[in-house]
């Protein structure tokens, strides 16, 4: 924690699957040479026209997990590189980086743990394996709003599901097979939840039902070079800092089945002195959660040339 406390007050944060939309990144491609290089590298690394799918669709194909995950990483990295291109040596060095689920892989690219070409191939394989695991062991997820973490943990235990994302004090996602999930939704409503929302996802992500995907991902992780991060990467599974390559490897090897401790990650960074969060992604997802977790910090989303220019003005 002291390493973060001595660093600048910025944190760079990266969203997960669900933020994708047709047309994302097109304006960056047209205005930023750095962003164009990212999209070209993504296409070359995967051997597919990912950028064309992002810019033109069709939406059903972009929504496929094996396409959505590398697409989100590509556009997040393109925004980050365009931000660096715009600011040059005035770009603030982050005290830490963090990402939500898939975004954790993006944060490891930005944090220097892995090369972008390795990262985007890894998340494509991750998406493919998650799809296969979802077909082998079907399940789903639901957001519980208005109950605290302790109460949701009891609901999950009683219903036979697992907590998958602790997004804020009163927004927690549970994951499991569909019958158990229905029990959990009923229990949460009975125990006073303000709202229980089934999520439009294809599987029970961040639960034991992803064990087959996690096993399959091991070979892919072992096949890439991992380095010590250049600045702390905040781990989803613990909400604390990864400071070496072995910790990064262990996080990747277990992350698909572990809960995303987003609330704890943000509080860890705030407690260590971070007071400005910059989200790099196509939609305001994490910045909104950060404000809910701690209204006293600043949080912005950079998604296009206009928001990059505004963010650069705020940073100067």
Q: Rounded to an integer, what distance in angstroms lies between the CA atom of residue 23 and that of residue 29?
A: 11
C-alpha–C-alpha distance, residues 45 and 187, integer Å? 46
**Active-site option among 32, 51, 76, 101:** 101
Burial of 154-184, coded b for 16+ CB within 10 Å and e otherwise, reads ebbeebebbbbbbbbebbbbbbbbeebbbbb
User: Which phi and psi angles does 230 have, rounded to 5°?
Assistant: -80, -20
Tell me the H-state helices in 137-196: 149-159, 178-190
Strand, helix or coil for residue 10: strand
- CA torsion angle 263 264 267 272 (round to 10): -150
Active site residue 206: yes
Please confirm, yes or no, whether 101 is among the known catalytic residues: yes
Helices (H), 160-299: 178-190, 211-222, 245-254, 262-271, 286-293
Q: Find the Cα–Cα–Cα–Cα dihedral 257, 259, 265, 266, rounded to 10°.
A: 130
- Residues in the chain, how many? 316
For residues 101 and 205, give the distance between their C-alpha atoms in angstroms, rounded to a whole number.
10
Q: Which two tokens stand for residue 45?
A: 């690394």
- Single out the catalytic residue among 51, 107, 175, 206: 206
| Residues annotated as catalytic (active site), given as ranges | 101, 206
């Amino acid at each position: 924690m002291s390493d973060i406390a001595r660093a600048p007050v910025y944190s760079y944060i990266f969203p997960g699957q669900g933020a994708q939309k047709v047309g994302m990144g097109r304006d960056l491609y047209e205005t930023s040479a750095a962003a164009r290089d990212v999209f070209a590298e993504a296409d070359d690394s995967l051997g597919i026209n990912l950028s064309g799918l992002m810019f033109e669709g069709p939406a059903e194909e972009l929504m496929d997990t094996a396409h959505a995950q590398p697409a989100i990483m590509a556009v997040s990295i393109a925004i980050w590189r365009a931000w660096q291109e715009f600011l040059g040596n005035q770009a603030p060095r982050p005290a830490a980086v963090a990402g939500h689920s898939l975004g954790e892989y993006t944060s490891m690219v930005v944090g220097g743990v892995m090369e972008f070409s390795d990262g985007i191939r890894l998340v494509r394989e991750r998406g493919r394996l998650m799809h296969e695991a979802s077909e082998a062991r079907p399940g789903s997820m639901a957001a519980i709003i208005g109950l605290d973490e302790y109460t949701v943990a009891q609901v999950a235990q009683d219903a036979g599901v697992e907590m998958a994302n602790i997004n804020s004090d009163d927004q927690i996602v549970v994951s499991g097979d569909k019958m158990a999930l229905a029990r959990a939704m009923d229990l949460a409503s009975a125990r006073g939840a303000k709202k229980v929302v089934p999520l439009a996802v294809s599987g029970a992500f961040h639960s034991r039902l992803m064990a087959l995907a996690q096993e399959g991902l091991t070979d892919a992780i072992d096949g890439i070079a991992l380095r010590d991060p250049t600045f702390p990467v905040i781990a989803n599974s613990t909400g604390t800092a990864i400071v070496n390559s072995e910790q990064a490897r262990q996080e990747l090897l277990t992350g698909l089945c572990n809960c995303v401790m987003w609330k704890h990650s943000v509080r860890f960074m705030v407690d260590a002195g971070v007071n400005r969060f910059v989200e790099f992604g196509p939609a305001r997802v994490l910045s909104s959660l950060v404000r809910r977790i701690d209204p006293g910090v600043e949080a912005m989303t950079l998604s296009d040339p206009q928001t990059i220019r505004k963010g650069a003005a705020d940073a100067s």
